[in-house]
Amino acid sequence: MGLAKEPNSDFSDPPRERKKLVLEKRTKPIEAAPAKSSSSSAIFGAAKPVDTAAREREIEDRLAKEREEAESERQREYERKER
C-alpha cells in the first residue's frame, strides 16, 4: 500500500509519476442534449404515489363495521339468553 519499498527506506527517491494520458480526437459528433422533462417523478419510473390516508380510512371503516357487527351479535346473544 505504501510508496516506500521498506519501512526504514529513505524518501530521497522522487515519487514515480504516471504517464501522460494521450486522448484521441472524438470519433462521433456531440449530440444535442435532449430537452429535460418537466416531470420530476421520472426518477421513480412508472411508480405512482400511494394515498396512505385513504387506505387508513378504508381499514378504519372496515374495523368499525366489524365492531358494530360483533356488538350486534353480542346483543342478540344477550337477548336470546334473557328469554
pLDDT in tens, 11-53: 677 788 889 999 888 888 887 766 665 555 578 888 888 889 9
Distances (CA, A) of 33 to 27, 37, 42: 18, 12, 17
pTM of the model: 0.39
Q: Looking at the predicted structure, is the pLDDT value of residue 60 above 90?
A: yes
Rounded to whole angstroms, how far apart are CA atoms 63 and 55?
Answer: 12
Instruction: Tell me the C-alpha to C-alpha distance, in Å, between residue 49 and each of 22, 38, 55.
Output: 49, 17, 12
- Over 80: is that where the pLDDT of 78 sits? yes
Q: How high is the pLDDT of residue 9? A: 57
Structure-block grid coordinates of residue 76? 342478540
Are 15 and 3 within 8 A, CB to CB? Answer: yes
